Chains A and B, each alone.
Chain A
Amino acid sequence: SSELTQDPAVSVALGQTVRMTCQGDSLRSYYASWYQQKPGQAPVLVLYGRNKRPSGMPDRFSGLSFGNTASLTITGVQAEDEADYYCNSRDTSGNHVVFGGGTKLTV
């Protein structure tokens, strides 16, 4: 399978917790990674592997993976977290890259 499905949009109040999900058959074979993209900017890696954060990424970003679903949770959402979030993985063949359609987070 070559599809990753994300909810198009989610909203959250400042300081609250939000969870975004990503579903796809290939997530049974590969972990998802997550990217934050703000308008006019390149995507930035937020989370990868089994809940790994790149250096400098706040620990309010965390992830879980179970079956064909990966989730990104932001605990204590800040105003600067408003952005589009994309999940990514490889497809079931392992040869092709797949992206989810993105979730627009409104704070």
Chain B
Amino acid sequence: QVQLQESGPGLVKPSQTLSVTCTVSGGSISSGGFYWNWIRQLPGKGLEWIGYVSSSGNTYYSPSLRSRASISMDTSANQFSLRLRSVTAADTAVYFCAREEIRSETAERPYPWFDPWGQGTLVAVSS
């Protein structure tokens, strides 16, 4: 059973770079067909997609965060990481990692879903 675990600094100063890592256990992140995602949740708000790295190494980002976000994978450590540059207090959030899979069946639309999720790590941006 695949499990995901985030780790992060807890506190980052404004204008610095936020770095969080997701460690995957129970399966390889280079196994084909999965997308390894970062999602955040600002205090009291909904889920906001940040971006993903596919098992083949391709990356896509939310248009609103593309200029500051970078997602990479370390297959030797079975981890993937998010770096978010030039942070402000508005980046204070719980950061979740999650595995996405997409399947399709004959004559049906594709269906994506996220499972499993990590438990989330709170990163506060403050001086």
Residues B46 and A95 in contact, CB atoms below 8 Å apart = no
Instruction: Give the number of chain A interface residues (Cβ < 8 Å).
Output: 32
- Interface flags for B57-99 (1: CB within 8 Å of A; 0: not) read 0001011000000000000000000000000000000001010
Chain B residues 105 to 119 lying within 8 A of chain A, measured CB to CB, are: 108-115, 117-119
Q: How many A-B residue pairs have CB under 8 A?
A: 79
Q: Which residue of B lies closest to A97 (CB)?
A: B49
Residues A29 and B109 in contact, CB atoms below 8 Å apart = yes
Chain B residues 6 to 24 lying within 8 A of chain A, measured CB to CB, are: none
Instruction: Give the number of chain B interface residues (Cβ < 8 Å).
Output: 27
Chain B residues with CB under 8 Å of A94's CB are 110
Residues B114 and A43 in contact, CB atoms below 8 Å apart = yes
Residues A30 and B111 in contact, CB atoms below 8 Å apart = yes
Expressed in whole angstroms, the Cα–Cα distance for A52 and B119 within the complex equals: 23
Residues A102 and B46 in contact, CB atoms below 8 Å apart = yes
Expressed in whole angstroms, the Cα–Cα distance for A84 and B119 within the complex equals: 16
Q: Which residue of A lies closest to B115 (CB)?
A: A45
Report if A49 contacts B (CB, 8 A).
yes
Contact flag A48-B48 (CB < 8 Å), given A43-B117, A90-B102, A97-B100: no
Residues B109 and A31 in contact, CB atoms below 8 Å apart = yes
Residues B117 and A33 in contact, CB atoms below 8 Å apart = no
Residues B60 and A96 in contact, CB atoms below 8 Å apart = yes
Most chain B CB inside 10 Å of its own CB: which residue of A37, A54, A97, A102? A97
Residues A33 and B96 in contact, CB atoms below 8 Å apart = no
Contact flag A50-B108 (CB < 8 Å), given A33-B113, A43-B96, A90-B102: yes
Contact flag A98-B49 (CB < 8 Å), given A30-B109, A42-B120, A90-B102: yes
Chain A residues with CB under 8 Å of B113's CB are 33, 45, 48-49, 88
Chain A residues 22 to 68 lying within 8 A of chain B, measured CB to CB, are: 28-31, 33, 35, 37, 41-45, 48-50, 52, 54
